[in-house]
Structure 1
């Protein structure tokens, strides 16, 4: 619709000058772009969510009724086996926005948090935001960035909203003193009202309209409306902090799901046997979950479900605005999570230096209105979205391209990769200043995880043990499979110029062929 409107009725696009927006979501003007340029470029919206698992939505048979997400899924390519690059916020987001692995960008740890080594993504990495801005796009960024203060505005975003986009750059790391104090009290038997533990789950006062998520919805709607009037093609990122823990939602979402009847997986609160020692460490105060009982784990799970239900409403509100403004018909949309999260599987909470599927796997819906919807089972990566967006928007490359354009899979389905090995590479270099150097290679049937700082690696038979309880790395019956995956990992490390390759070869010299 927007393309037709531009081609038929706009002779000259309004002149708008580039300026960074404040928390109020204001926007000023920018240089004129010709109608012929704008008419050829699609409008794009990325809806990004923090720590959103792949398995909760009703379109996946999950426990949460998500009608708006389901409706979008029915119009999209569903990548049902999408994976993140790193199970940690800043590195996964840096990979998403640049299309490059952390060893290329220097961003392989969280930024500006307790013990973190880095404070921002280098400005030399302009990423998809700078590329879009430099090529005639009206760029907006609403919500979480987590790659350094003012990042989107400094890269050309004209409309911004969120605490990271205003004020002075943080000069000191944020340290979780209060969180540690709360956890110590929980260990002594303290709970908040109604038996809640607010560092894990909480019923917020007010309603949906009182939440920060709704503030982001309102500013996303403001951006869409302003972009429609502006006339240039637009690229918007709406980045929600939900459903990142702690799971804090108002009613009716807090009590929408009954913890007493909530189903839990086979690895729920499972004892970790023959696992790397790094999984035992509480790298963040709330990772000490010794005080949580089964009922509290289940409550936390159902509060997470409530957060997903609230997110579904937020998506519905944004899409309705796009429809009301007449831009939905031709709108290209990506719904993606930066990584998953642990809800008690293996007795783990939040995220950490490991490679379990609950953390690795992410939701990914890609709507191109010119491509028929389908389900793709092939494993794809978060890092693949970047070259796909660049292809849509006809953006020139700005350096190495580590991902692949997903258009072929969208148009042809899994047959597009016929004859190719279905594999995914994953890395976990640092966690808030603690080095791990983990690499994982995953196929549909097996997963191998290399821990260079530990004497235990991991090997899982995903077909027979999908919840990854039994580590087979030293089982002689799986020696041939282990060798196959080690060789596959070596090939992937070489392909992406991973600097750990020589260390990997040294540690695997008894397995790799000479």
Structure 2
């Protein structure tokens, strides 16, 4: 299948060269009009932010600022990330291209990682926006190589230090010793375990989140003064584990009163072997008691509450600067995270909903708010941005634009499903591919003899793997074919391996 390249919209399609009374051509006038209509766009991006904590979703954390944004946005309540890992999901977001196209399918600059940065030729929507006259700014976490936004045209850039800054990768030697201590009964000050949860000193203004807010406010004020189209990204590292927050957020939720999910600590029976390994020292959670897990979840909820304040601060600044009414906003997380579900912490090569699903709000100020409960993907966001900016991407992109869904001019059609991949994890190959429908999830594990099938209606916690169930044999076969179709559609090289597997299995 040919890659989807977005068509040039409306005003750019006018090609008449008739001369107007003022000496300008109709083409020049139409281009100027298109420039005037280009919207301002602000992307609020969060790290390992789960979909299920906000009050607008019925979650346990009061999030009035995010709820207010949701009430003005199109809520994509079945949004799925491309990969449950920071660098690959971010590469997919900023380029609109799957990892097999960009070569970015693993984390960068970490212990046993294969890669150091994303190919500079993958400019993505940052470079295309800058080249078209947008004022582009970037704040916070990038995790795709040093000076990545700057070499893609960002005029305003205040970035976190990249882990690729040194010749040698970050290696968690200190973390190993700390976890060994926990396994021997040691704890940190106050009885906490700072590799998982911690009450930090100071208050909100002393946090990295507040620093991102201040930098983001500076970006917004600069953009308002310049009076030209702008695209800004404010990228927070929170609430990535470990969950570390100051007061009052550290004590905002009583661990003893937290409701644990049905799959909390569930025994991993009939699961792929990879789920039994600690790929980082803190993945060794044998020392974690139920109280520890409750504390971790309480601090995570506190981090979400702090994020809500950060969102409110940035939106208030946009209103004060007089640009909010016409501002397009995207609010999302790069992937989720595990907080004791299936006895897992953080992330690794699996496809559970707690990792796959992400929050996604897209605000078009001229569109009626709504809720979409069909599957969409993180990789659909760049196509939508290009439609909003009235630009044609300089490189072919994957994904479909959601702009028509947001403004009501079109609807999602075709099968209701989403594709997910987890190719590498810090140098270890898995090649995992998964397809999620409203009823089932099928996970193909080419590096393991055991695949996975979950009935999401009767078993939303994905505890029981039905891959060997005779009653579900037809479902497995159908979903394998459906997954193959999706892989072939994006020209994923793994499609050939899956096709061969299907042929051998059902010959």
TM-score scaled by length of structure 2: 0.92
Provide the C-alpha distance between the structure 2 equivalents of 1:132 and 1:332, rounded to a whole number of angstroms: 15
The alpha-carbon deviation at position 408 of structure 1 amounts to: 2.3
Structure 2 partner of 1:52: 49
Whether 1:108 aligns to 2:108 is no
Equivalences for 1:31-430 in 2 at 5 Å? 38-164=35-161, 169-412=165-408, 416-418=411-413, 420-430=414-424
1:371-400 deviation line (CA, Å, top 9, x unaligned):
100000010000000000011111222222
Count of matched residue positions in the alignment of Structure 1 and Structure 2: 477
Structure 1 partner of 2:3: none
The alpha-carbon deviation at position 35 of structure 1 amounts to: 7.5
Kindly indicate whether the alpha-carbon contact (under 8 Å) linking 1:253 and 1:309 is maintained by their aligned counterparts in 2: yes
Provide the C-alpha distance between the structure 2 equivalents of 1:134 and 1:37, rounded to a whole number of angstroms: 15
1:475 to 439, 459, 469: 469
Structure 2 partner of 1:501: 495
Structure 1 partner of 2:452: 458
1:83-119 deviation line (CA, Å, top 9, x unaligned):
0000000000000000000000000000000000010
1:315-368 deviation line (CA, Å, top 9, x unaligned):
000000000000000000000000000010000000000000000000000000
Kindly indicate whether the alpha-carbon contact (under 8 Å) linking 1:150 and 1:164 is maintained by their aligned counterparts in 2: no
The alpha-carbon deviation at position 412 of structure 1 amounts to: 3.5
Provide the C-alpha distance between the structure 2 equivalents of 1:168 and 1:50, rounded to a whole number of angstroms: 18
Task: Identify if the C-alpha distance between structure 1 residues 345 and 436 changes in structure 2 by more than 3 Å, giving closer, same or farther.
Answer: same
Residue 129 of structure 2 aligns to a residue whose secondary structure is: helix
- Which piece of structure 1 moves more, 170-179 or 264-273? 170-179
The alpha-carbon deviation at position 416 of structure 1 amounts to: 1.6
1:116-136 deviation line (CA, Å, top 9, x unaligned):
001000001001110110000
Task: Identify if the C-alpha distance between structure 1 residues 336 and 303 changes in structure 2 by more than 3 Å, giving closer, same or farther.
Answer: same
The alpha-carbon deviation at position 169 of structure 1 amounts to: 3.8
Residue 184 of structure 1 aligns to a residue whose secondary structure is: helix
Structure 2 partner of 1:432: 426
Provide the C-alpha distance between the structure 2 equivalents of 1:432 and 1:383, rounded to a whole number of angstroms: 22
Residue 174 of structure 2 aligns to a residue whose secondary structure is: helix
The alpha-carbon deviation at position 194 of structure 1 amounts to: 1.8
The alpha-carbon deviation at position 170 of structure 1 amounts to: 2.9
Kindly indicate whether the alpha-carbon contact (under 8 Å) linking 1:88 and 1:339 is maintained by their aligned counterparts in 2: yes
The alpha-carbon deviation at position 204 of structure 1 amounts to: 0.6
Structure 2 partner of 1:20: none
Kindly indicate whether the alpha-carbon contact (under 8 Å) linking 2:142 and 2:160 is maintained by their aligned counterparts in 1: no
Residue 436 of structure 1 aligns to a residue whose secondary structure is: strand
The alpha-carbon deviation at position 510 of structure 1 amounts to: 4.1
TM-score scaled by length of structure 1: 0.91
Kindly indicate whether the alpha-carbon contact (under 8 Å) linking 1:334 and 1:364 is maintained by their aligned counterparts in 2: yes
Residue 371 of structure 1 aligns to a residue whose secondary structure is: coil
Residue 466 of structure 2 aligns to a residue whose secondary structure is: coil
Aligned CA-pair RMSD? 1.5
Residue 260 of structure 1 aligns to a residue whose secondary structure is: helix
Structure 2 partner of 1:9: none
The alpha-carbon deviation at position 38 of structure 1 amounts to: 4.6
2:435 to 436, 441, 444: 441
Kindly indicate whether the alpha-carbon contact (under 8 Å) linking 1:148 and 1:164 is maintained by their aligned counterparts in 2: no
Residue 503 of structure 1 aligns to a residue whose secondary structure is: helix
Residue 254 of structure 1 aligns to a residue whose secondary structure is: helix
Kindly indicate whether the alpha-carbon contact (under 8 Å) linking 1:149 and 1:170 is maintained by their aligned counterparts in 2: no
Structure 2 partner of 1:490: 484
Q: Which structure 2 residue ranges, 5 or more long, are not aligned?
A: 1-30
Kindly indicate whether the alpha-carbon contact (under 8 Å) linking 1:483 and 1:511 is maintained by their aligned counterparts in 2: no
Residue 509 of structure 1 aligns to a residue whose secondary structure is: helix
The alpha-carbon deviation at position 168 of structure 1 amounts to: 9.2
Kindly indicate whether the alpha-carbon contact (under 8 Å) linking 2:268 and 2:342 is maintained by their aligned counterparts in 1: yes
